[in-house]
């Protein structure tokens, strides 16, 4: 089997993009076509037009090549060799950031092709199921007032989730407001629901963000027993992460903005986080996410992939979490955008708080071509 064509299709919701922390307002769908009629799909949660350029650009020289061009004629089953080829062939302008994001979408599509060709679900190709079912956490934005935080938490508890994450939004206020929001959320959830809080890391003049102020804040949050505190510091502040992680018994999670095994090595070894959150559409794809999960496993820490875009990232993450020994939860993005809700004919379903994995070949999902046509923004 040979790869014949790579399509990178940017999509965007019809309504105006809001500058909130909802990355499911736009996206980019990747299609990798083969000479045997099998097409693999993937996606990238990044800046869609930049990703498209990285895939479509012609080569400039030996190690400054467009990703699409490097794939033509390759055997999609040779995933590891292709990954290294793309990484090395883009070294001059890549190594981290958007180039790795773009490689991620291609890598996911290659796993989808392999599964479809062999009639096997991706989790079996990744090594088989380590668990029969995966607990899903409802992932949503934190509202701005305690009453809204209470109502939002209640809403997902009532839908059967036993773990809920609230992030950004209202957490961009001061420490006093953050404590009130967390308190309201815990009151709504009761003692038995796991609450995950994604604090965000954007400082303002009256809301500085550094290890010392976060240590004081996390101390105040301890009585509300968060399951984890996510990305409380800027992604480059490994030293701050270590200080914070050592100062509290609450798990510190991070890594959605990290790419490659090399980036995660720093985050784990220098940052000392308790949970790593590689995003399979950003960290280097399913291949790299598996290597990152193995690295985390060698340090006895848990890997819970970040997933906030269309249903493709949710499905790909579910396959990964099913197949890694140190997986624990699936991030189930409940954003109500057309990109999140309409790009697939059928989404991963969650029942009684658990995500259901299918044994359909590949990722087990089918693109909604009508929605793709409706929201594509490249013509």
Closest approach of Mg ion to the CB of residue 74, in Å: 34
Which one, 199 or 350, has the nearer CB to Mg ion? 199
Cα(45)–Cα(37) distance, integer angstroms: 26
Closest approach of Mg ion to the CB of residue 99, in Å: 22
Closest approach of Mg ion to the CB of residue 188, in Å: 21
Which one, 13 or 139, has the nearer CB to Mg ion? 139
Cα(131)–Cα(120) distance, integer angstroms: 17
Which one, 107 or 198, has the nearer CB to Mg ion? 198
Q: Does residue number 331 form part of the binding site for Mg ion (CB under 5 A)?
A: no
| Among the residue ranges 62-70, 139-147, 198-206, 295-303, the one whose residues contact Mg ion (CB under 5 A) | 198-206
Which one, 112 or 231, has the nearer CB to Mg ion? 231
Phi, psi dihedrals of residue 197, rounded to the nearest 5° = -125, 125
Strands (E), the chain: 3-12, 26-34, 39-44, 134-141, 163-167, 194-198, 228-230, 251-254, 275-276, 302-303, 329-333, 350-351, 354-355
Closest approach of Mg ion to the CB of residue 230, in Å: 5
Closest approach of Mg ion to the CB of residue 254, in Å: 8
Choose, by CB under 5 A, the member of 22, 26, 112, 198 that binds Mg ion: 198
Binding mask 122-161 for Mg ion (x = CB under 5 A): ----------------------------------------
Closest approach of Mg ion to the CB of residue 232, in Å: 10
The candidate with the shortest Cα–Cα distance to 81, out of 116, 109, 107, 120, is 107
Give the contacts of 275 (CB within 8 A, at least 6 positions apart). 228, 251, 252, 253, 254, 301, 302, 303, 304
**Burial label, 246 (beta-carbon count in 10 A; 0-12, 13-18, 19+):** exposed
**Which residues would be at the binding site for Mg ion (CB under 5 A)?**
198
């Amino acid at each position: 089997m040979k790869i014949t064509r790579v399509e990178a299709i940017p999509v965007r919701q019809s309504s105006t993009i809001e500058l909130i922390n909802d990355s499911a307002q736009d996206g980019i769908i990747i299609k990798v076509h083969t000479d045997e009629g099998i097409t693999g799909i993937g996606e990238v949660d990044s800046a869609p037009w930049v990703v498209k350029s990285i895939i479509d650009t012609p080569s400039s020289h030996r190690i400054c090549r467009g990703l699409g061009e490097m794939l033509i004629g390759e055997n999609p089953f040779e995933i590891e060799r292709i990954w290294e080829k793309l990484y090395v062939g883009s070294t001059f302008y890549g190594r981290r950031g958007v180039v790795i994001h773009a490689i991620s979408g291609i890598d996911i599509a290659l796993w989808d092709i392999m599964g479809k060709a062999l009639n096997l679900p991706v989790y079996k190709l990744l090594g088989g199921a380590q668990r029969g079912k995966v607990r899903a956490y409802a992932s949503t934005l934190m509202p701005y007032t305690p009453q809204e935080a209470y109502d939002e938490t209640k809403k997902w508890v009532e839908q059967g989730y036993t773990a809920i994450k609230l992030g950004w939004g209202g957490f961009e206020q001061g420490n006093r407001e953050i404590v009130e929001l967390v308190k309201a959320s815990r009151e709504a959830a009761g003692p038995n629901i796991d609450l995950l809080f994604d604090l965000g890391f954007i400082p303002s003049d009256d809301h500085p963000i550094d290890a010392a102020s976060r240590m004081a804040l996390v101390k105040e949050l301890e009585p509300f027993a968060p399951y984890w505190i996510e990305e409380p510091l800027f992604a480059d502040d490994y030293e701050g992460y270590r200080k914070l992680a050592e100062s509290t018994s609450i798990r510190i999670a991070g890594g959605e903005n990290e790419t490659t095994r090399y980036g995660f090595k720093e985050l784990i070894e220098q940052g000392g986080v308790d949970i790593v959150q590689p995003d399979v559409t950003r960290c280097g794809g399913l291949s790299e996410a598996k290597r990152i999960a193995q690295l985390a496993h060698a340090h006895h820490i848990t890997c819970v992939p970040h997933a906030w875009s269309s249903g493709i990232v949710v499905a790909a993450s579910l396959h990964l979490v099913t197949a890694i020994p140190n997986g624990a939860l699936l991030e189930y993005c409940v954003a109500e955008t057309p990109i999140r809700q309409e790009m697939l004919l059928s989404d991963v379903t969650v029942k009684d708080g658990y995500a259901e994995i299918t044994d359909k070949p590949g990722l087990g999902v089918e693109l909604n071509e009508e929605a793709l046509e409706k929201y594509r923004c490249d013509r």
